[in-house]
Amino acid sequence: MKYIDEFRNKKITRYISGKIQETVKGYNDRITLMEVCGTHTTAIFRAGIKSLLSDKINLLSGPGCPVCVTPNHYLDRAIAYSRLPDIIITTFGDMIKVPGSSSSLEGEKGTGGDIRVVYSPLDSIKIAEENTDKRIIFLGVGFETTAPLVASTITTTKKEGLSNLFILCGHKLIPPAMMALLESEEVNIDGFICPGHVSTIIGAEPYLPVVEKYKVPSVITGFEPVDILEGILMLIIQIINEDKPEIEIQYKRAVKEEGNRKALQLMDNVFRIGDSEWRGMGVIPKSGLFIQDKYSGFDAEKNIEVEVEETKEHPECICGEILRGVKTPPMCSLFKKLCTPDNPIGPCMVSSEGTCAAYYHYGVV
C-alpha cells in the first residue's frame, strides 16, 4: 500500500479484525497488550479499534505521553524561571496547561510571564537573536523523537555564538521505561505495541532486551487503523505460537532496523544517558538524556539559579497509576468531574497524547 487512505480502508480493517478474531478463537487465556505511545492511544480510541477486537484482547495505555511522564519538580522549576524578570520561556503547546505544584505556565503567562509557544526548538534561536537583553529557556521535554531537534538547536546556537539561549533538559528514553514496567510486575503485559515515531529515530535494536531478557513480543507499529490492527495481529500470532519472542517492524514504510543514524549521532554528541525520574514510576536507570559537559553553557539548570517551591502532588490524581497501566481514567474520582480539558488536574488530561484526554474525547470503550 502506498497511500494514506489505504491504511484507513474499512474493508481492509474488517478483514484484519476478522483475522484477529479467527486467530484467538480457541485460545483460552486473555491477552494484554500495551501501547507505549500517546499517539497510538489517541488513534486507538478515535478509530474505535477496541470495538473491533475480541473480548480476549485487552489494550492498556502506558507511559507514552512525554508531557504526562514529566515530574512536577521539572514543571515547578520552569514556572520559577518564568517569574524571573529577564526570562523568556519557549515551549511546545502541550506544556502550557500542565499543572505544577501550585501554578501552571498558562497561569504565569496570565500574570505577565513571557511564555511563548513554538513549533520547533529551532524557533527559539530566532527569539534569542531578537531579544539579546533576555535569557531564553526552551523546555526540552520529549522522547527520542524530539531529542535530535534539541541537540541540533544546541549545536546551531554554539556555531552562531549566541550566549542567551538555554535548554531545561527533560528528555527521556522509552525502552528503559518498558523494562521498568516489566520489572515491577504490577501488570501482566503479554506484548508491546512499540511507538512508531520514536522508532524512526532509534530503530529496532534498543527493544531487544525487552524480547530477549523478559520474553515479551514487541511490534513497532504505525498509527493508522490498518497499521494498528496489523501490529496487534502480529503480536497475537507471536503470543499464541509461543515461539521465540521477536521485535518486528510493522511500520516498515517509516522505520529501519538501524534507525536514523544521523539523528542518533547528533544525540550522542550532545547528550549523555543517566538515571531519570518519571511521574508515577520513580527514578528509572539510564532512562534520561542530559546535556554533556562540553555543552554545559546551554544547560539552564547549571547556569540560571532560581528558588523552586517544594513539590506537591494532587492527592486524588491517579495519573501515575494510569501511566503504569495499573488503573484507567474512569477509576479516578476526578475524571470528567473536577478534571476536564478546560480544568485539568493532572497532565494525562492536558496533552493530546494523554490517556485521560483520549477517554474524555472519544468515550470509554
Sole residue written with cell 524571573: 84
- What confidence score (pLDDT) does residue 8 get? 80
Residues 296 and 336 occupy one common structural domain: no
CATH code of the domain covering residue 185: 3.40.50.11740
Domain boundary among 297, 315, 333: 315
Provide the greatest CA pair distance for the chain: 69
Element (H, E) at 231: helix 225-241
**Residue 109, C-beta contacts closer than 8 angstroms, at least 6 positions apart:** 82, 96, 115
- What confidence score (pLDDT) does residue 344 get? 94
How many CB atoms are located within 10 Å of the residue 236 CB? 25
Residues 308 and 250 occupy one common structural domain: yes
Residues 280 and 186 occupy one common structural domain: yes
Residues 189 and 298 occupy one common structural domain: yes
Give the angle 161-266-200 at the CA atoms, nearest 5°.
135
- What confidence score (pLDDT) does residue 365 get? 46
Residues 164 and 51 occupy one common structural domain: yes
- What confidence score (pLDDT) does residue 4 get? 73
Residues 238 and 335 occupy one common structural domain: no
For the chain (365 residues), the mean pLDDT of every run of 10, in chain order, is: 75 94 91 95 94 93 94 97 97 94 95 96 97 97 96 97 97 98 95 97 96 96 96 96 91 96 98 97 98 98 96 94 96 96 94 93 73
Residues 254 and 159 occupy one common structural domain: yes
Residues 241 and 343 occupy one common structural domain: no
Rg (CA), the chain: 21
Residues 157 and 181 occupy one common structural domain: yes
Q: Domain limits at 343?
A: 319-362
- What confidence score (pLDDT) does residue 48 get? 93
Residues 324 and 305 occupy one common structural domain: no
Residues 92 and 174 occupy one common structural domain: yes
Residues 73 and 104 occupy one common structural domain: yes
Structural domains of the chain, count: 2
